[in-house]
Amino acid sequence: MRAGLSLLGLLPCLLVSCVLSLRASEAGETKLHHFLPDKKQPLDPDTTADEAHDQTNTGPDIWTEVRMLRDMVVEQKVELRNMEARLRETEIQADDQKLDLLLTKTSLEELKRDHTTTKERLRASEKQVEELKKVNMELRVDLENQAAQLLSIEARVTVGDSELQLLTRRMDDLQAQNTAQEVELVSLMDRMNTTESRVDSLIKENAKVAFYAALTDSGGVGPYSTPTVLKFSKVFTNYGAAYSPTTGFFTAPQKGVYYFRFTICGHTAEGHMGVQLFLNGRLMMSNLQSRYNGHFEYLSNAVTLELNVGDELHLVLPQEHAIFDNNTNHSTFSGFLLFKM
């Protein structure tokens, strides 16, 4: 395109050079025409007239052609300018098209990336759909199994309802029987309570409480680092079974006034002799004696107490004290009911 424009630019120059050459030729011919009559022989008048006439006619034709060529150059310049304007527009359009092409390429690349991403998402979605289909199939199988189990449970429930109705009837019968038995039981309880009260009254009227027991056959007892309950294990008398040789406690079987007596013997090489009397965990009496000389020494005391049913009484060996007993019963504990209240 630019080569065409350069040729069009050279064209006026060529036209101008042609015009100048024509003018030069015309001028040369004129000078030659003035020069020839002096150098050559006389010519024929007719021939000379024809030549002058031809020269006169040739001049106007050349100028006409020059004007035509000038007009053509002007027209070509106009066309050249139009073509240059069109070329600029074409270049601008080409630049715009290049920019559009770049934008199109960029958009195309983005579309390709989006397409690739969409494909990947589509593959992931297809995988998820397949997994969901599998899960759906499993859920259908589970649902069918649950439906079968539900039908089985409904059948069992129907059977269970029938059995429950039978059990309800039986329960009603049993409750009626139980009510009747409860009435009978209440009547029996009333009778038993009446009988027990009569027995208790008879026991109270005829009860006899008395006990006598010795300490041990093993010899010395103590001394100990802590107070120790004395268990008189050799029981000779225990009316009413109020004294327990396994615990050493006397428990009052009924309300009344009781008399208790104890005797202890000291015949050990160490420890002081002593004993304490407790009633329901409360100290009632304490008898202590200093160290002795190894002879048989005795310590006795007695107490009369008013006891309620369930009151407990026992003897305690204080810490760092010791007493003695053997098969001759040197240490004893006894008591009995004086009268009821």
* Predicted confidence (pLDDT) per residue in 97-152, tens digit: 899 889 989 988 988 998 898 889 889 988 988 888 998 889 889 888 988 988 88
* Residue type at position 37: P
Kindly report, residue by residue over 252-270, the tens digit of the pLDDT: 999 999 999 999 988 777 7
The number of domains in the chain is 2
Residue 35 pLDDT: 40
Distance CA 70, CA 85 (A): 22
User: Which of the given ranges, 27-36, 104-113, 235-244, 291-300, has the highest pLDDT on average?
Assistant: 235-244
Same domain, 101 and 215: no
Residue 58 CA, distance from chain mean position: 117
Distance CA 69, CA 16 (A): 9
Residues 6+ apart with CB under 8 A from 19: 66, 69
- Segment 312-338 shows an average pLDDT of 93
Distance CA 278, CA 305 (A): 12
Choice between 25 and 61, residue whose per-residue pLDDT is larger: 61
Residue 20 pLDDT: 58
Q: Is residue 222 scored above 60 in pLDDT? A: yes
Kindly report, residue by residue over 162-194, the tens digit of the pLDDT: 888 888 888 888 888 888 888 888 988 888 888
- Segment 9-16 shows an average pLDDT of 57
Residue 113 lies in a domain: no
In angstroms, how far is the first alpha carbon of the chain from the final one? 151
Domain end marker among 54, 88, 106:
106
Q: What percent of the chain has pLDDT over 90?
A: 33
Question: What CATH number does the domain containing 295 carry?
Answer: 2.60.120.40
* pLDDT grade for 33, boundaries at 50, 70 and 90: very low
- Segment 328-334 shows an average pLDDT of 94
Residue 196 lies in a domain: no
Q: Is residue 39 scored above 60 in pLDDT? A: no
Residues 6+ apart with CB under 8 A from 26: 59, 62
- Segment 271-283 shows an average pLDDT of 91
Same domain, 220 and 97: no
Residue 188 lies in a domain: no
Q: Is residue 311 scored above 80 in pLDDT? A: yes
Residue 185 lies in a domain: no
Residue 234 pLDDT: 95
Residue 232 pLDDT: 96
Same domain, 101 and 224: no
Residue 274 lies in a domain: yes
Query: Could you tell me the residue range of the domain that residue 235 belongs to?
Result: 208-340
Same domain, 333 and 221: yes
Q: Is residue 339 scored above 80 in pLDDT? A: yes
Residue 136 lies in a domain: no
Distance CA 137, CA 139 (A): 5
- Segment 311-337 shows an average pLDDT of 93
Residue 213 pLDDT: 97
- Put simply, whether the predicted model's pTM sits higher than 0.95 gets the answer no
Peptide bond into 253 cis (omega under 30): no
Choose the weakest-confidence range: 9-18, 167-176, 189-198, 230-239. 9-18
278: nearest Cα among 253, 256, 301, 249? 249
Residue 257 lies in a domain: yes
Domain end marker among 79, 106, 133:
106
Residue 209 pLDDT: 95
Residue 273 pLDDT: 86
Domain end marker among 77, 106, 135:
106
Q: Is residue 7 scored above 70 in pLDDT? A: no
Choose the weakest-confidence range: 54-58, 102-106, 231-235, 246-250. 54-58
- Segment 77-96 shows an average pLDDT of 90
Same domain, 214 and 325: yes
Residue 262 lies in a domain: yes
Q: Is residue 251 scored above 60 in pLDDT? A: yes
Distance CA 238, CA 244 (A): 9
* pLDDT grade for 29, boundaries at 50, 70 and 90: very low
Give, in degrees to the nearest 5, the angle at Cα 91 between 89 and 93: 65
